[in-house]
Structure 1
């Protein structure tokens, strides 16, 4: 005699395929969220990505996108599961089982499925991180690549686990509350059409995406430059039109499509109707996939933009080596470097060395007043390195004219990165005698090689001699450049770097943004200079191979062959983190798209069966399947990639009001990367279509 429990088990076995899909969706979502949060909380990553820096903000922003996508994905998977489960429940109800009797078994089954799949996903997240991280280490490795994990990341996984299990149990209870048995049994065939809108929907959606991107980006800029106010976090709501526009684009895709049907109104009618009748599911899937693909593109763009800029900068250098140092340091000169090079069978050429002065500069500075600020002129705002006109001409080989009483700032040719240069100074100060020299900004001299985060300036020869009187060696320095006669040696470049580092005293163990003039002024005002607090990045001579040291040491030399060879090692953690982000978001997107394609088959199998009975050929059915699967993959990829590419170009332009040659090169490589990723999506699409056809024809 068959009991209620045995009947439940029989029905569960009949719909095991749908249960497996639900388990898989939960497993993948928890795996991706756990893996991402494990990386985000990893001390290895947090040590390299500076607190408050753009890279860390980008990492968190994309995590929010991934979290949003996975939440929607699991809710969608739960809904699909219960639409199939409704048939089981309706059958049992028709046989006389009450909702009260079914509730314990249903909740137990749902809780077990949700909990087990989610816990397995959480556990699998850590091996997934380990495999990806160590795979990248096969390409490049450094001391900073030793992966350490902070299990605080499990807090996020736990919250997501509660969301998944709680929502599933709530869904189970909601379905059992229904009283109409026929409605429950036919739940899986219920359509979810969306309200049709005119063909204006798509163009307006594109306009909202573009307008929202510009509005969201320019809002904080206007807030800062016009209102003298620090933009609050809530101002990011200005990006809201982007999501509304994305929804309208997806809605237009489902309801109207992007091709005119005046000539062939019945072309692809079946595929279009199927998509339209399940519009809510389709639109939600397209929207989530688009957001994830956009996040993936944003993450992957970091690699080519950073790499191309660095490679082109290194290639354009006029000298193989550059270094500078304070005059009170015992640093190798031309003879010592020549002797070191001789040990490697090398000879140096074009050695040039010129002095510079470190002077105090006044200037206009932002003074915080709560969330707002105002501008004040500071008598000692910052420290600047000043070359004489003769020194500039000797090291660059270029003639320059600096008028008496003026100073010029050395910029790159494109005049980008001017943030580090002071153009409002009216007084230069000798920091030993405190003799002052009235001055005016005389414009920019252009020499890319001397452009760095400290900045160089040029004075008229007479002014240089006047302000230099009485200055101690602590506030004077030397800048040197040289080439290698013939083919350079990586071993020599390493030896030179380590020799140079070991020559500096502890007083020079400072990051590039440690400003001695600002420190003096703050101390005189009875304040603690922020550089003497824990907020400033600390560097150490004992760790010269870390990314912090290579990026931020105040006296970091430039070596063409060393910088080129060790680029991956220096920025390994940066590159790995953003590559990881791109992989996570892309995986989530293609899994959602593939799952959607499989549910199209499961939900519409009866439609395809009817078509076969009506005499439709396999080729015709395959064409209809492609008509369903194509937009699921194509539209999110096109919209997500295009929107993020344009947004990234906007960000590049917004940084300094122009797009430089290096940035154009980076954007060109980004375009090639997108084509490569599009190829991967196409292969997944082909695989999905193949499996859909197998489901129909078997």
Structure 2
């Protein structure tokens, strides 16, 4: 009988071990291919802002997904080799040639890898298509969201499969190169005991976990805001302190056990404690990896709630439609709005037009040097600002502001930023007469309705406004049309027509990005320099960049909600993929670790039974092992991510507003769902261990 036929018989006999390997390898390639096919689809690439933070986070998360899939595939392969070690040792003991045995083993692994890779790539693309069609059916179904195949996804899946195949080949080579027959036979029973550590070791590990997060996230913000110094890029390595801290804390949880005041309990559990310590190094490594994967999966799942705060704030705005544009341009007006309203049979209410005079405001230009030091340069004429009187502001918003003469309020939608301080402006200049007026900062006023992303807006005392901002030519004014619409089934179509007409009637001079300023562009032209905001933007209703980058993007609740849901749904879909990969890795690592413990300690459990231990004691011992493997990493990863989430919310506005509290509540629910998933894996692993140990 040839070696191939012998391996075929062994494969049928040990079908469960092969199924586990095939599932893990195929599942890893399938997940990566389907994720890459979705991520690099032209449809998704059009949604992701080029060079934006969202795209960077997506790619960072994709890197985590690659590592997670590679990790659990390699881990499953290592477990398969443990199963094969006894068979290999028996063959060698019976006189089989290691060269012939290795050749057959490599051939078998190559077949498994090739079949898993091919099926993973094919079904990965199919799953990507099915998931996207379900996404369109359940979330948003527009022409712009039609599925587009990307060859890049298949190429990335193939590249991942090749890397995975190389790792398997190296592992198989090392496995077959071992010369000691007893090492091969006893590979399944190999243990790596861990030395007991002190309580101080565990406490320092817990402290390092928290300190690493604080140093990596909080310190750069503090140094930038309070000491005008930018931390170097290498400072991000301080997050690694948390990784070391997690390792130390997990080591303490596994190895440290004291008799304390209840020695009876200690002696009652001395066997479970000793079992865990005898395999401590392997267990600690697995638990640390699981904790980091739980953290990564929650980071992916928390992304959408964290970024949904803007959606709720927009929804709370009292104005449904707000259209800003230069007053000198022939844009949509009340007649146009009414014509479209009549067409769709909707009712327009609370229509108002407001003109904002533009004055040159002073300001501070900030930038970092190559050495990480902050450079601040004050300009008496910095950029154009838009102004409104306190009386007019109250008439429009219903908010009363008492602005003293010589003072001003700045209209904002959030806390003071690092690059723009609310009190940077201390004087204004009339762009026509060149007259200058001194002003001082009185306070800031949160109001999304009156806020403009294209230019800073200020509220002046009525007397000051009459003196400095009246009688300006129309070329130095910005008009804002605001109105509401009564609820109607035709509102979506009406909103789309308003948006389309506004974009179609916008001339080239309105095709400016958010950072564009006329004065700064003029000054840059005089000195033959480039202005950062001096770049045109394509004025097309299908251009996804309009919402994020157009200076005059209209605030139309219905369309913003639709675009926001589209973008966030795409992000959520991508992050769900990553979370699935990370959680799958957690489940596979925890399950295989559980089975390894059962296999390695089967003789011990048999001996305990012969010594009189009943099934209840055996079950409690098994449960003690699994509780540590499943509970500790889950709690550590979830707690670390919760702390990080709170720091992000705090860093946004130094407080926890209502929308952030809602988002954090959703995060807690998501964490609960993840815990339920891990509990299901725990129960399955528990049943499998009992079956293996015949309990």
TM-score normalised by L of structure 2: 0.88
In structure 2, what is the equivalent of residue 510 of structure 1? Answer: 512
- Once the two structures are TM-superposed, the CA of residue 248 in structure 1 deviates from its matched residue by 2.0
In the alignment, the residues of structure 2 paired with residue 149 and residue 487 of structure 1 have an alpha-carbon distance, to the nearest angstrom, of 37
Q: 2:672 aligns with which of 669, 675, 686?
A: 675
**Contact conserved, 1:66 with 1:295, CA < 8 A, in 2?**
no
CA contact (8 A) 2:294 2:633 kept: yes
Q: Cα gap change, 1:196/1:77 in structure 2, threshold over 3 Å: closer, same or farther?
A: farther
Answering whether residue 687 of structure 2 is matched by residue 690 of structure 1, we say yes
Aligned to 1:522: 524
- Relative to structure 1, the CA distance from residue 328 to residue 182 in structure 2 (aligned partners, 3 Å threshold; closer, same or farther) is same
Q: 1:187 is matched with which residue?
A: 187
Q: CA deviation at 1:211?
A: 0.4
Q: Measured at CA, do residues 587 and 384 of structure 1 come closer, stay the same or move farther in structure 2, by a change above 3 Å?
A: farther
Question: Residue 552 of structure 2 aligns with which residue?
Answer: 555
> Residue 444 of structure 1 corresponds to which residue in structure 2?
444
1:655 and 2:652 correspond: yes
Number of equivalences: 690
Equivalent pair of 1:411/1:418 in contact (CA under 8 Å)? no
1:464 is matched with which residue? 465
Q: 2:590 matched to which residue of 1?
A: 593
Pairing of 1:378-417 with structure 2 (within 5 A): 378-412=379-413, 415=415
Q: Deviations over 1:445-493 (max 9, x none)?
A: 3434323533421233344344446744233122343344677962444
1:136 corresponds to: 135
Residues 329 and 418 (structure 1), Cα distance of their counterparts in 2 relative to 1, 3 Å cut: farther
Instruction: Say if 1:332 and 1:500, in contact at 8 Å, map to a contact too.
Output: yes
Give the alignment of 1:254-653 within 5 angstroms.
254-256=254-256, 262-311=263-312, 313-334=313-334, 336-338=336-338, 340-341=340-341, 346-370=346-370, 372=372, 373-412=374-413, 415=415, 423-431=423-431, 434-454=434-454, 455-468=456-469, 471-484=472-485, 490-491=491-492, 492-533=494-535, 538-543=537-542, 547-560=544-557, 563-564=560-561, 567-569=564-566, 571-611=568-608, 617-653=614-650
The answer for the alignment partner of 1:28 in structure 2 is 27
**Cα pair 1:35 1:129 within 8 Å, conserved:** yes
Aligned CA distance change for structure 1 residues 164 and 573 (closer, same or farther; 3 Å): closer
Shift of 1:444: 1.6
Distance 1:79 1:419, change over 3 A: same
Provide, for residues 148-188 of structure 1, a one-character-per-residue CA deviation record: whole Å limited to 9, x for no partner: 35444556545543443333333333233333222221111
Paired residue secondary structure (2:266)? coil
Does structure 1 conserve the Cα–Cα contact (< 8 Å) formed by 2:366 and 2:419?
no
Contact 1:65-1:295 at 8 Å conserved across structures: yes
Residues 139 and 9 of structure 1, relative CA distance in 2, 3 Å threshold: closer
Contact 2:117/2:158 (<8 A) preserved: no
Q: Deviations over 1:501-533 (max 9, x none)?
A: 444333223333333332222222211223345
Cα distance in structure 2, aligned partners of 1:46 and 1:381: 36
Change (3 A) 1:124 1:206: farther
Q: Which residue of 2 aligns with 1:50?
A: 49
* 1:388 and 1:460 in contact (8 A); partners too: yes
Q: Report SS of the residue matched to 2:308.
A: helix
In the alignment, the residues of structure 2 paired with residue 127 and residue 686 of structure 1 have an alpha-carbon distance, to the nearest angstrom, of 32
Please give the per-residue CA displacement for 1:199-223, whole angstroms capped at 9, x wherever unaligned.
Answer: 3343322211110001111343356
| Residues 1:126 and 1:659: Cα distance change in structure 2 (over 3 Å) | same
Contact 1:488–1:561 (CA under 8 A) maintained in structure 2: no
Once the two structures are superposed, what CA deviation does each residue of 1:328-384 show, in whole Å capped at 9, x if it has no partner?
233444455455445555544433332102333332112454454522124543332
Question: In the alignment, is the contact (CA less than 8 A) between 1:432 and 1:470 conserved in 2?
Answer: no
Return closer, same or farther for 1:585/1:167 CA change in 2, 3 Å cut-off: closer
Query: Quick one: structure 1 residues 228 and 447, their matched pair in 2 at CA, closer, same or farther if it must change by over 3 Å?
Result: closer
Distance 1:370 1:37, change over 3 A: farther
Q: Distance in 1 between matches of 2:5 and 2:347?
A: 87
* 8 Å Cα contact 1:66-1:292 kept in structure 2: no
1:577-620 residue CA offsets vs partner (Å, 9 max, x unmatched): 33333333223322332333343344444444445555655554
Post-superposition Cα deviations, 1:530-579, rounded to whole Å, max 9, x if no partner, equal 3345xx8x442342xx5432344333333445545664235432333333
* TM score, norm. by length of structure 1: 0.88
Report the alpha carbon displacement of residue 644 of structure 1 after superposing the two structures with TM: 0.6
In the alignment, is the contact (CA less than 8 A) between 1:358 and 1:477 conserved in 2?
yes
| Aligned-residue offset at 1:224 | 4.0
Q: What SS does the corresponding residue of 1:540 show, helix, strand or coil?
A: coil
- Give the Cα separation in 2 of the matches to 1:270 and 1:624: 8
Name the CA distance, whole Å, in 2 between partners of 1:360 and 1:691.
74
Distance 1:594 1:319 in 2: 54
Q: In 2, are the aligned partners of 1:31 and 1:124 still within 8 Å (CA)?
A: yes
**Distance in 2 of aligned mates of 1:563 and 1:51:** 19
| Aligned CA distance change for structure 1 residues 465 and 381 (closer, same or farther; 3 Å) | same
The 5 A counterparts of 1:214-233 are 214-221=214-221, 224-225=224-225, 230-233=230-233
Mapped to 2, the partners of 1:307 and 1:258 lie a distance apart of: 47
Determine whether 1:171 maps to 2:171: yes
Alignment of 1:102-121 (within 5 A): 102-121=101-120
| Alpha-carbon distance between aligned partners in 1 of 2:412 and 2:37, rounded to the nearest angstrom | 41
Cα separation, partners in 2 of 1:103 and 1:348, compared to 1, 3 Å? closer
1:69–1:289 Cα contact (<8 Å) kept? no
Mapped contact 1:39–1:45 kept (Cα < 8 A):
yes
Structure 1 residue 86 corresponds to structure 2 residue 85: yes
Give yes or no for contact 1:380–1:521 (8 Å, CA) kept in 2.
Answer: no
RMSD: 3.4
Deviation at 1:257, TM superposition (A): 7.2
Q: Which runs of 5+ in 1 are unaligned?
A: none
Distance 1:73 1:482, change over 3 A: same
8 Å CA contact 2:230–2:368 kept in 1: the answer is no
CA distance, structure 2, for counterparts of residue 196 and residue 163 of structure 1: 38
What's the CA shift string for 1:306-348, capped at 9, x where partnerless? 335422x245323343332221233444455455445555544
Whole-angstrom CA distance in 2 between matches of 1:385 and 1:259:
72
SS of the residue aligned with 2:267?
Answer: coil
Task: Check the 8 A contact 1:380/1:518 in 2, yes or no.
Answer: no
Stretch moving more, 443-452 or 153-162: 153-162
Check whether the contact 2:500–2:541 (CA below 8 A) recurs between aligned residues. Answer: no
Report the Cα distance in structure 2 between the residues aligned to 1:322 and 1:577, rounded to whole angstroms. 32
1:182 to 1:676, Cα distance in 2 relative to 1, 3 A = closer
**Bigger shift: 220-229 or 138-147?**
220-229
Q: What do residues 224-255 of structure 1 show as CA deviations (whole Å, max 9, x unaligned)? A: 45675654443221111111112123223332
Provide the rounded CA distance (Å) in 2 between the counterparts of 1:135 and 1:284.
38
Structure 2 unmatched ranges of 5 or more: none
Q: Please say which of residues 520-529 and 248-257 is displaced more in the overlay.
A: 248-257
After the TM superposition, which of the residue ranges 483-492 and 498-507 deviates more from structure 2?
A: 483-492
1:252–1:155 Cα change, 3 Å: farther
* Partners of 1:361 and 1:382 within 8 A in 2: yes
Q: What is the CA–CA distance in structure 1 between the aligned matches of 2:222 and 2:318, rounded to whole Å?
A: 39
1:96 matches 2:98? no
Distance 1:180 1:92, change over 3 A: same
Contact kept? 1:409, 1:421, Cα under 8 Å: no
Separation in 1, partners of 2:417, 2:499: 26
